[in-house]
Amino acid sequence: MAQPYSARSRAIEPFHVMALLARANELQAAGHDVIHLEIGEPDFTTATPIVAAGQAALASGHTRYTAARGLPALREAIAGFYDQRYGVSVDPERILITPGGSGALLLASSLLVDPGKHWLLADPGYPCNRHFLRLVEGGAQLVPVGPDVNYQLTADLVDRYWDKDTVGALVASPANPTGTVLERDELASLSKATRERHGHLVVDEIYHGLTYGMDAPSVLEVDDQAFVLNSFSKYFGMTGWRLGWLVAPPSAVKDLEKLAQNLYISAPSMAQHAALACFEPQTLAILEERRAEFARRRDFLLPALRELGFGIAVEPQGAFYLYADISAFGGDAFAFCQHFLETEHLAFTPGLDFGRHQAGHHVRFAYTQSLPRLEEAVQRIARGLRSWQG
């Protein structure tokens, strides 16, 4: 009899939403009109200038490995973007191009976490963060957070939960699933709290650019020793191209480059060449139009859900999610999601995917559908609530 698979593989939980997605796809294949509000992916295709740059790169034969840290021209373009958008000077040598934001998280967790050590993470939060820590034989100390702290870690919570095995804190701004943003002074306080304990602050800025009525500050404005994870997937709309980046302190770059060489050699070369077009004025104009469209969707769906009885205590400032309390309707979140999928052909995500703190009483809606589709979704929710409660 074969030996069992590794303990780490058994410990990493699946996405609960994948079972719902599989069922949604079955219903769709059977001819039903399914509205997908479960997917954390922009519904817009990649902007035309980026696609054209990728096609030109392929035609020019840019299909070989790049350096492990990525194309120098792309690292320089990202550095220029930090200067333009945040007024922050970042040496391109500190930037590593990665296969998606996940590649950046893999590098950071591999570098910073020894077996048995852990980071502090907000609960609720993006599940892959804790799973990557388990993969490197570390762990996540989940810190319960709610509306009173904007669903974010604070310096006070760092003080309360830090222990002898804590080596850092990972925060996300804007956050998935709640869409909340850390202000500049909050980032500064978190930086001070982690630095006083000789730990590391890692900030997921993957949803930067997708904020509404405000611009999210980068942690690099207050702490040039922080580790920053970012991606071309969300604001730049390049999900399937699998491209991200990591900004690291200068002292960490050599070891990160060594890890990158061994873990994935380099990020996809054609995607890197395509991404050079992300920072062109015509591309940014398209992306800003899309940001405005996401704002319109949020401003429609948020009051509509509240009017139906969903509890959304904090108005999300970014990303494209609404994290809603379903306590008023009773039952558990997974059964709630199943009910709407089967009766109304409407898919959204149970809170169980995002942690443990009150997860069974929350669901996440992604407003990654057009306004007419969201209007139809609200009608289905209203009808589905009647059958759920009846």
Give per-residue pLDDT as tens, 22-41.
999 999 999 999 999 998 88
> What is the pLDDT at residue 106?
97
> What is the pLDDT at residue 331?
78
pLDDT digits (tens, 9 = 90+) for 127-148: 999 999 999 999 999 999 999 9
Average pLDDT, the chain: 96
User: Rounded to whole angstroms, how far apart are CA atoms 272 and 66?
Assistant: 9
User: Rounded to whole angstroms, how far apart are CA atoms 128 and 135?
Assistant: 10
Q: Are 176 and 40 in contact (CB under 8 A)?
A: yes
Q: Are 129 and 165 in contact (CB under 8 A)?
A: no
Q: Are 42 and 287 in contact (CB under 8 A)?
A: no
Name the percent of the chain lying above pLDDT 90. Answer: 94
> Which residues on neighbouring strands pair with residue 95, listed in sequence order?
247
Q: Are 110 and 263 in contact (CB under 8 A)?
A: yes
The predicted model gives 2-10 an average pLDDT of: 87
The predicted model gives 101-127 an average pLDDT of: 97
> What is the pLDDT at residue 49?
98
The predicted model gives 37-48 an average pLDDT of: 93
Could you give the 3-state DSSP secondary structure of residue 19?
A: helix
Q: Among all chains, which residue has been given the structure tokens 């994948």? A: 18
What is the identity of the amino acid at 83? D
User: Rounded to whole angstroms, how far apart are CA atoms 348 and 363?
Assistant: 7
Q: Alpha carbon of 101 to those of 51, 62, 232, 238, 241: distances in Å?
A: 20, 22, 8, 11, 11
Q: Are 244 and 103 in contact (CB under 8 A)?
A: yes
Q: Is omega for the bond preceding 124 within 30 degrees of 0, making it cis?
A: yes
Angle formed by the axes of helices 48-59 and 281-308, to 10°? 130
> What is the pLDDT at residue 14?
82
Q: Is the pLDDT of residue 208 over 80?
A: yes
User: Rounded to whole angstroms, how far apart are CA atoms 309 and 335?
Assistant: 18
Flag the least confident range among 11-20, 184-193, 247-256, 369-378: 11-20
> What is the pLDDT at residue 12?
87
Q: Are 348 and 340 in contact (CB under 8 A)?
A: yes
Kindly report the pTM of this predicted structure.
Answer: 0.96
User: Rounded to whole angstroms, how far apart are CA atoms 116 and 38?
Assistant: 34
> What is the pLDDT at residue 4?
84
| CATH of 5-43+281-385 given 3.90.1150.10, 3.90.870.10, 2.40.50.140, 2.40.10.220 | 3.90.1150.10
The predicted model gives 317-326 an average pLDDT of: 98
What Rg value do the Cα atoms of the chain yield, rounded?
21
pLDDT digits (tens, 9 = 90+) for 59-93: 999 999 999 999 999 999 999 999 999 999 999 99
User: Rounded to whole angstroms, how far apart are CA atoms 78 and 97?
Assistant: 10
User: Rounded to whole angstroms, how far apart are CA atoms 219 and 29?
Assistant: 45
Q: Is the pLDDT of residue 18 over 90?
A: no
Phi, psi of 345 (to 5 degrees): 55, 45
Could you give the 3-state DSSP secondary structure of residue 29?
A: helix
- Sheet holding 362-366: strands in order across? 321-325, 362-366, 349-350
DSSP state of 181: -
For the chain, domain boundaries: 5-43+281-385, 46-279
> What is the pLDDT at residue 177?
97
Q: Report strand pairing: 321-325 vs 346-347.
A: unpaired
Domain covering 46-279 assigned CATH 3.40.640.10 in the classification:
yes
Q: Are 339 and 381 in contact (CB under 8 A)?
A: no
> What is the pLDDT at residue 68?
98
> What is the pLDDT at residue 39?
86
Q: Report strand pairing: 200-204 vs 166-172.
A: parallel
> What is the pLDDT at residue 290?
98
Report H helices in 64-183: 72-86, 100-112, 127-135, 155-161
The predicted model gives 152-180 an average pLDDT of: 98
Chain centroid to CA 93: 25
